[in-house]
Amino acid sequence: MDKRSGITEAVAKGLGEARTQKLNALARHVQELQILTAEAGTVDLLSVPRTGRDITRWKSLAAQGGEDWVYVTYADKNTVLALDEPSEIGMRNQAAAAIYPELHTRMVSWWLVHAWRSIDLLEDTLDNIWRWRISSGAVTARAAVEEAGALVDEAQKLAKAWSIGKAAPAEELKRPKTVRDALAPALLHASMGSRLTGSHAKLQATNVLTLVKKLSKTSGNPRFIEWYDWLSDAAHPAFGARIAYSSLPLVHDSGAVTVRYYARAPLLLQSDTQQKTMESTIALTVADSIIAAGQIIVDVLNHSLALVDDVGLTTGAATLTRRNYWRNLSPVRGSRACPCGRGKWSQCGHRWGEPAPKAISLEDTSA
């Protein structure tokens, strides 16, 4: 047996059969996400409203370049929202073509970035666990918990916004504007929110502690707060980091002496009759938190991809532009298989006025 396989076997014994099975199941889900997204690439668009002289300049440049544009004029008659490279269909439905491809491409890139980041963090944490790299595991597991919190928060806001847009009345100009007014602010904050010094006051990213508390409440799993505290302590040069490679404390019956054992691999307590793996507080926290956070991430990514597809297929965004991007699915009709891959077109509900998909459907995430 080589050193790597020996450590893996010792880790499996230390974590126990139930945790090991959950970690292996999570690894399979991560692999499915990897297969889905590994070759994906996309582009997103951001339309900047033009006013006054900027409108004149835009029209002049478009004419000089012989470019095709679609645009919609705001109610004030002084503001224009424009988008280039419309399709023939888009040229005939300019309000929709000026708005829907922009919103859908931004939702697609939002989803892909979350998926790629989640895959990296989950794969790295799983690898750290099986290699008994507990210090690194605490750092990546902490980031994964934060990622789960951000994903849940943003997905819920986008789902709520799309439910408003999808219920908009069937008016050629009013419906696209209603959809953009609902979705654009949520997308802007999700893609550009930051805590950097000098970042815009209206685009301040949500504090991670707030996200963890929301995650705990939404998932019904109060342990996320406890896990996050331990992972943060272990990620920093603090007490948690000092005991990452130690056993739980063994206390003499008198209480006069406490003993911790330290090793670079899982510790075994051996007597004349048996061997028992000594539990590591940080290692078990890494394992339990990544199982719970990973389950949520996989669930929300699956549900929010359905949301992304519903926006694209309900609006027909891909048919309105000549640009190529990931998940640029085109609507079909009748009983044909839906391009979203979730059933027949007639059953998938990609129609105005139908209920919008939910962002999450969380089950018990306790490890």
On average, the pLDDT of the chain sits at 92
Question: Does the residue 33 lie in any domain?
Answer: yes
What pLDDT digit, counting tens, does each position of 42-64 carry?
Answer: 999 999 999 999 999 999 999 99
Q: Burial, 127: exposed, middle or buried (Cβ in 10 Å; 0-12, 13-18, 19+)?
A: middle
CA distances to 24, 132, 134, 172, 234 from 242, in Å: 28, 15, 11, 63, 8
Question: Does the residue 19 lie in any domain?
Answer: yes
Q: What is the mean pLDDT of residues 214-219?
A: 95
What pLDDT digit, counting tens, does each position of 233-269 carry?
Answer: 999 999 999 999 998 888 989 999 999 889 888 877 6
Q: Give the domain extent around 103.
A: 3-245+280-348
**Identity of the amino acid at 295:** Q
pLDDT category, 276, cuts 50, 70, 90? low
Question: Does the residue 332 lie in any domain?
Answer: yes
Beta strands 50-51; 79-84: pairing state: antiparallel
Question: Does the residue 256 lie in any domain?
Answer: no
What pLDDT digit, counting tens, does each position of 201-216 carry?
Answer: 888 899 999 999 999 9
Taking Cα atoms as reference points, which of 363, 366, 288 lies closest to residue 125? 288
Token reading at 29: 């889900």
- Cα separation of 135 and 33, whole Å? 26
Which segments of 38-173 does DSSP mark as H helices, in order? 53-65, 88-92, 94-130, 134-166
At residue 365, the pLDDT reads 44
- What's phi and psi for 264, nearest 5 deg? -85, 0
Total of domains in the chain: 1
Give Cβ neighbours of residue 241 (< 8 Å, ≥ 6 apart).
Answer: 135, 138, 233, 234, 235
Q: What is the largest CA-CA distance in the chain?
A: 89
Crossing angle for the helix pair 134-166 and 174-192, to the nearest 10 degrees: 170
What pLDDT digit, counting tens, does each position of 58-108 carry?
Answer: 999 999 999 999 999 988 788 999 999 999 999 999 999 999 999 999 999
Token reading at 211: 């996200």
Question: Does the residue 156 lie in any domain?
Answer: yes
- Cα separation of 244 and 230, whole Å? 10
Question: Does the residue 300 lie in any domain?
Answer: yes
Q: Is the pLDDT of residue 5 over 70?
A: no
Q: For residues 204 and 195, is the Cβ–Cβ distance under 8 A?
A: yes
Residue 291: Cβ within 10 Å count = 24
Per DSSP, the residues of 161-176 read HHHHHHT--S-TTHHH
What predicted TM-score, i.e. pTM, was given to this entire model? 0.93
**% of the chain exceeding 90 in pLDDT:** 79
Question: Does the residue 240 lie in any domain?
Answer: yes
Question: Does the residue 111 lie in any domain?
Answer: yes
- What's phi and psi for 247, nearest 5 deg? -80, 170
- What's phi and psi for 334, nearest 5 deg? 65, -135
